[in-house]
Amino acid sequence: MKDQLLKFFKKIEPDKKKSPFLHTLYDGFFTFALVPDSVTKGKGVHVRDGMDLKRTMTMVVVAMLGSFVIGTYNIGHQHFLALGQYTGLMDGWYLKLAHGVIKFLPLYVVAMVVGLGIEFWYASKKGHGIEEGFLVSGALIPLIMPPDIPLWILAFSVIFAVIIGKEAFGGTGMNILNVALLSRAFIFFAYPTFISGDEVWVSGLEKIDGVYQSVQYGWAHHMFDAIFGWFGGDKFGAGGMAVVDGFSGATPLSLAAKGGWEAVTQVYSTSDMLWGLIPGSIGETAKPFIILGGLFLIGVGIASWRIMLSMALGVAFTGILFNMWGATPSMGVPWYDHFIMGGLLFAMAYMATDPVTGASTPVGKLWYGFLIGFFGIVIRVFNPAYPEGWMLAILLMNVFAPLIDHFVVQSNINRRTKRASKATAA
């Protein structure tokens, strides 16, 4: 069966010189469907393994499945909470899931189509196979966005991140900045009103005459209405319903910046934050699933436990210092509660551990992770306009990662040189 499938693929292979773009597309699908068909022969120390870059990237996406599912559901959950409808977690679950899919799926499709389209074009021009690194970046980008981000802004951010942050440096494995975070940074500086503030984190709402209400539902919602009607379920209806009194859409981080931990607990429970049932980026979901995903990546040898552990220590160290200082309300947030607020754990598991943009040496990884934790909490506490710190902290340390590795390597050289000098003198 395998031989017949291989013959079929070889038969339909386009000519690389006459149709470079088609051949690039073919090569991408061929290597995705089948593991490499050429391996090192004979005996020796050569590695013989079916694992390649595509399958490595696929493992990372598998680790994020919990964030995809819970994040999609939470989009709908937050939407209906704002309207005072289906306030129980599983009340109207099919409406919540349908609304989440309607909001999330276009973000995922646009990120993948735009990013992979650019990679396919560059691969055809360079005359080599498709670089699969964007499989992970394209999955991460929609998870770190607000659910209502305009698709054209998302497309521009992906174009900028892939071309300027990746292809300009040579493509996959050559970029110095995390592509997904660079996409978010582009929106943060170019279109800040679409990714900051309290209003952007709950989907499907609009402000009319100073009052928030749900938007008029579109064809996608009405399509689900027709399906739900067959089973006698509730429907979305026309929309245009006012939100409940006192609704603000404030995230725990923005509440902490204004009123400290007490202000947070008056609105959200620890359980809500632990399971990600709060307004925020789509990927700020159930923390237990993020932890399981991170452990899975450590277990398969993709993510570095050194970076995760040292980042957690950096968060704890800095949080304890600020708890002792207590000069501002946000400094009063218990250091251990920082782990369940916002996207800290998501950044720790999937962003900081990027093997391309992070430090490479074992000791360098410890310093790299610790400094991300340190600067991330500093930005959280001291920046009232942006009460989240992981995007800027990780991008900052991406830049300094090579310097950290240089100092580690140089320190090893100096230490061994001194040892050799003493041995020679003796």
Give the length of the chain. Answer: 426
3-state secondary structure of 89: coil
**Residues 392-400: what's their mean pLDDT?**
96
Which residue, chain included where needed, has tokens 């497309």? 155
Which residue, chain included where needed, has tokens 């064809």? 219
Which residue, chain included where needed, has tokens 């725990």? 252
| pLDDT (0 to 100) of residue 199 | 82
Give the containing element (helix H, strand E) for 211.
Answer: strand 211-214
Predicted confidence band of residue 104 (pLDDT cuts 50, 70, 90):
very high
Distance CA 284, CA 276 (A): 6
Predicted confidence band of residue 333 (pLDDT cuts 50, 70, 90):
very high
**Residues 182-198: what's their mean pLDDT?**
92
Q: What is the pTM of this model?
A: 0.88
Burial class of residue 241, CB neighbours in 10 A (0-12, 13-18, 19+) = middle
User: Is the predicted pLDDT of residue 364 greater than 70, yes or no?
Assistant: yes
Where do the H-state alpha helices sit in 172-282? Answer: 179-190, 219-230, 252-265, 270-274
Q: Which of 29-43, 213-227, 302-316, 323-337 has the lowest mean pLDDT?
A: 29-43
From the centroid of its chain, how far is CA 30?
Answer: 27
Distance CA 319, CA 342 (A): 15
